[in-house]
Structure 1
Amino acid sequence: MSNYDYLIVGSGLYGAVFAHEATKAGKKCLVLDKRNHTGGNVYCENTEGINVHKYGAHIFHTNDKGLWDYVNQFVEFNNYVNSPLAYSKNKLYNLPFNMNTFYQLWGTITPKEAKAKIEEQILLFGVKDPKNLEEQALSLVGKDIYENFIKEYTEKQWGRKATELPAFIIKRLPVRFTFDNNYFNDKYQGIPIGGYNKLIDGLLKDIDVQTGVDYFSDKKKFDKQAKKIVFTGKIDEFYGYKLGILEYRSLNFINEVLDTDNFQGNAVVNYNDAEYEFTRIIEHKHFEFGKQAKTVITKEYPQEWDINKEAFYPINDAKNQALFEEYKKLSLQEENVIFGGRLSEYKYYDMHQVIASALTSAKKELS
C-alpha cells in the first residue's frame, strides 16, 4: 500500500515548489535527493559567515509580481542588482554591452557614435546567412565586441571553437545605448536575505525529506511508496539511457578563503581571455553586502561532461534535441509520473521559470 500521494525525486526548486503546493492541498509527499542536502543547485554553504553559492551564482529576477510575492512569503529578498564586469586584454569593462562598455572600448560618448561604430563593423565583418556562432556574433555586433567579450569566453564555456558552434546559440546579443549596468531588465531582482537555503527550508517545512538517497538504487521499492512520482532528474536516466545519452556541459568550482575583506569589489567578474582556464570569479559576500573580515571567492571552470559529473547546461543542438523528443514521447505515455525541471525537460531554465513551471504543473495536477 502507498504511504504517500507523491514521491518527489529531487529537492531543487521544481521539486520543492511542487511538494509545497501538494502539501498545501492536503496531499502527503516524500522528497528524495541524491545529494546530502536539499535545494539542488541553489544550495548555499556557510563559510566564514558568508553564504557561498555552491553550484554557481544564482540571482533571482522576474517581471512577474505574483512570482516575486510567492518567493518573498518564505524569505525576504534584498535589493541586490546584478552588474557584472568583464576582464579582457588587461582592462575591466561593464556588462551588459552598454554605453559604459562602448566608452571603455572606443571612447564614444553619444549613442549615435556607438551605433555608428557597431554598424560600420557589422558592414565590414558580418555575413547575410551566418553558418556558425562566430559569423552570427560578427553579424550582430561586429569585430571589437566579438573579439573582446564573446569569442574566447564562449570557446571556454563550450569547449569548442566558435566556428564549430551552431549560430543559434546566440539568437541575439543585448546591446544598450544607455549608461545602465543592470544586467537584467526585470522589475524584481534580489537575493534571499540569509541565503537560498531559507527559501528551500520554507518550501519543504513539515514535509518528509530524505537526503543522500539515490532513487535509482531501489527504484521499485521507492515507486511502491507513492501513488504518483514527480521526477526532476535526467529524463534519459529515468529510462536507463535506452535510447542514448543526452549531452551536457559540466562545471568545476574551486573555492578559496582569502584573508582580506574585499578581493574584487564586485560579486561577478568574467575572465574573457583564453589564458585563464576559468570563465569567472564569484565573490559571494557582495550578493548580501557582507562586511565579514574574510572573503570567499569561487573560480568557475567549464568542463566536458560524462554521466559521473554534474549536468549543468544542456547541449541543445539538433542531435540532442531530436533524442530528447524521443524520450519526451515515452514520458507522455506515463500515467503516474510527472516530469519537470531543467534535467527532465532538457532545457536551460532561470529560477523564476522553474518555479513558474512547477506551479503550473502542480495547479494542473491538483485541480
Structure 2
Amino acid sequence: MNYDYLIVGSGLFGSTFACEAAKRGKRVKVIDKRSHIGGNIYTEKIEGINVHKYGAHIFHTNNKKIWGYVNQFAEFNRYTNSPIANYKGEIYNLPFNMNTFNKLWGVVTPEEAREKIEQQKAEAHLGKPTNLEEQAISLIGTDVYLKLIKGYTEKQWGRKATELPPFIIRRLPVRFTYDNNYFNDKYQGIPIGGYTQIIDKMLSSDLIDVELNTDFFSRKDEYLRRYPKIIYTGMIDQFFNYQFGTLEYRSLKFETEVLNQHNFQGNAVVNYTDAETPYTRIIEHKHFEFGDQPKTVITREFPLNWERGDEPYYPMNDEKNNALYRKYKKLADRTPNVLFGGRLGMYQYYDMHQVIAASLAAVAREFDEKASC
C-alpha cells in the first residue's frame, strides 16, 4: 500500500492531522504502541460509566472555531469544572475564591479577603519571587499556600516548592467572587459518551488505516525509508536517540476501582493537598456526565518520577529542560520529511484545545493554506 503519511501516535494531534489529510485526498497510516486509539484522552466504558483512563480531561477553550471543530465529532454536555480540595479532612473550593476565603478566615467581602492576603504577603517580607513558594505567597498569602498549594504541588512535580521555578504558578487563578468555575473559558464541557468516539470519527475515513500495538522504534529505519512524510508525536529526545541528553518528564500511576455504591465523593475531582496522602486526586468519573448508575468508578492518581521506559505524561518545562529542548528543536527543524507535534514532540504542556489548534496550524503549513483556527 502506498501512503502519503505515516502518523506516529493516535492522540489528538496525530488524529486531527490524519483526519484533515484524508479530507485532502491523502492516504494515511496511523500507528500506535498502545492497544487502543486516542492517546491519553481514551475513555473506556465500565459499569455504564465512561472512565477517563489517563486522568481527568475537561475540554475548555475561548476559541469559537476550535469549539466548533471538536463539536462536529461529539455532542458536549454542560459540565463545569469545579474541583474541591481536601486538606486533612477540611474541604475547600477551587479555584481560590470567596468561598475558599470564607472557609479559611470567615471573611465575607472581597475587601476583607484582599486585606487578609495583603497582610500575609507583608508579613512574609518577600522581594521578587525566585521560586514557586515565593511566587505563590506573593499571589495568595501563606495560609492558602500552606494548605492548598504546597503539598499538592510538591507531590505533582516531585520537588520542593523552593526548587521549582516561579513561572509554574504565575497564572494561579484567584477570584474575589463566589464562583467555583475553575476555567474562565467561554466554552466548556465533556463529550456525551466519552472522548474515544472523537478519535474514532477522526480516523473513520477509508483513506486512513490504523495499526495498534506497534512500536515506531522497532522499525524506525524502515519507516523513515518507506514513508514520504512522517508526523511524529512521541518524545522528541527519543527520536534522536537522546544524543544531547534526556529531557525530564513526569509520569503517573492510576488505580481504578469499581465501588458498589451510588456516590463516593459527590464531585468529579477532589484534590488531596496535604503532603501525607500519596495521591494528588481522586476522580469519580460518573459525575463528568451527571451519571445515575447504581455503582461508581473512582481513580486515584499518583505522580511518579519518570525514567526511560516509563510512560511520559507531561514535560518538566524548567530552564534546564527548555534549553535542552531547544537543541532538539534545531535538530528537528533540519530533519527532512518529519514533522514533530503534540505534547511530547513539541515538549509543551498543552491542553486539548491547544493540541488541536497546533495540529490544524501544522495542516495549514503542510498544505500551504491559511490557518483556520
AA partner of residue 51 (structure 2): V
- Alignment-derived partner of residue 178 in structure 1: 177
Q: Distance in 1 between matches of 2:70 and 2:161?
A: 38
Residue 268 (structure 1) aligned with residue 260 (structure 2): no
- Alignment-derived partner of residue 236 in structure 2: 235
Q: CA deviation at 1:128?
A: 1.4
Q: Secondary structure at the match of 1:21?
A: helix
Residue 220 (structure 1) aligned with residue 229 (structure 2): no
Q: CA deviation at 1:183?
A: 0.4
Q: Distance in 2 between matches of 1:338 and 1:163?
A: 37
- Alignment-derived partner of residue 161 in structure 1: 160
AA partner of residue 209 (structure 1): V
CA distances 1:189-238 after superposition (whole Å, capped 9, x unpaired) = 00111000111111111220001000110112223332100001000111
AA partner of residue 94 (structure 1): N
- Check 1:350–1:142 CA distance in 2 against 1; reply closer, same or farther (3 A cut): same
Q: Distance in 2 between matches of 1:180 and 1:126?
A: 30
TM-score normalised to the size of structure 1?
0.98
Q: Distance in 1 between matches of 2:185 and 2:167?
A: 24
Q: How does 1:76-91 map to 2 (within 5 A)?
A: 76-91=75-90
- Alignment-derived partner of residue 279 in structure 2: 278
AA partner of residue 8 (structure 1): I
Gaps of 5+ in 1: none
AA partner of residue 224 (structure 1): R
Paired residues of 1:17 and 1:359 also in contact (CA < 8 A)? yes
- Check 1:112–1:287 CA distance in 2 against 1; reply closer, same or farther (3 A cut): same
Percent identical across equivalent pairs?
63
- Alignment-derived partner of residue 29 in structure 1: 28
Q: Distance in 1 between matches of 2:72 and 2:44?
A: 22
Q: Distance in 2 between matches of 1:324 and 1:226?
A: 26
Q: Secondary structure at the match of 1:319?
A: helix
Q: Secondary structure at the match of 2:342?
A: coil
Q: Secondary structure at the match of 2:228?
A: strand
TM-score normalised to the size of structure 2?
0.96
CA distances 1:144-176 after superposition (whole Å, capped 9, x unpaired) = 110111111111111111122222222232210
- Alignment-derived partner of residue 9 in structure 1: 8
AA partner of residue 15 (structure 1): G
Gaps of 5+ in 2: 369-373
Q: Distance in 1 between matches of 2:125 and 2:358?
A: 38
Paired residues of 2:118 and 2:141 also in contact (CA < 8 A)? yes
- Alignment-derived partner of residue 122 in structure 2: 123
- Alignment-derived partner of residue 203 in structure 1: 202
Q: How does 1:17-96 map to 2 (within 5 A)?
A: 17-96=16-95
- Alignment-derived partner of residue 342 in structure 1: 343
- Check 1:216–1:109 CA distance in 2 against 1; reply closer, same or farther (3 A cut): same
Q: Distance in 2 between matches of 1:199 and 1:132?
A: 39
Runs of 4+ in 1 over 6 A off after TM superposition: none
Q: How many residues align?
A: 366
Q: Secondary structure at the match of 2:96?
A: coil
For the aligned residue pairs, the C-alpha RMSD in angstroms reads 1.0
Q: Distance in 2 between matches of 1:162 and 1:62?
A: 29
CA distances 1:263-317 after superposition (whole Å, capped 9, x unpaired) = 0010000000112100000000000111111000000001100111111121111
AA partner of residue 111 (structure 1): P
Q: How does 1:278-317 map to 2 (within 5 A)?
A: 278-317=279-318
- Alignment-derived partner of residue 147 in structure 1: 146
Q: Secondary structure at the match of 1:343?
A: helix
Q: Distance in 2 between matches of 1:90 and 1:259?
A: 23
Q: Distance in 2 between matches of 1:335 and 1:220?
A: 14
Paired residues of 1:118 and 1:142 also in contact (CA < 8 A)? yes
Q: Distance in 1 between matches of 2:2 and 2:225?
A: 8
- Alignment-derived partner of residue 244 in structure 1: 245
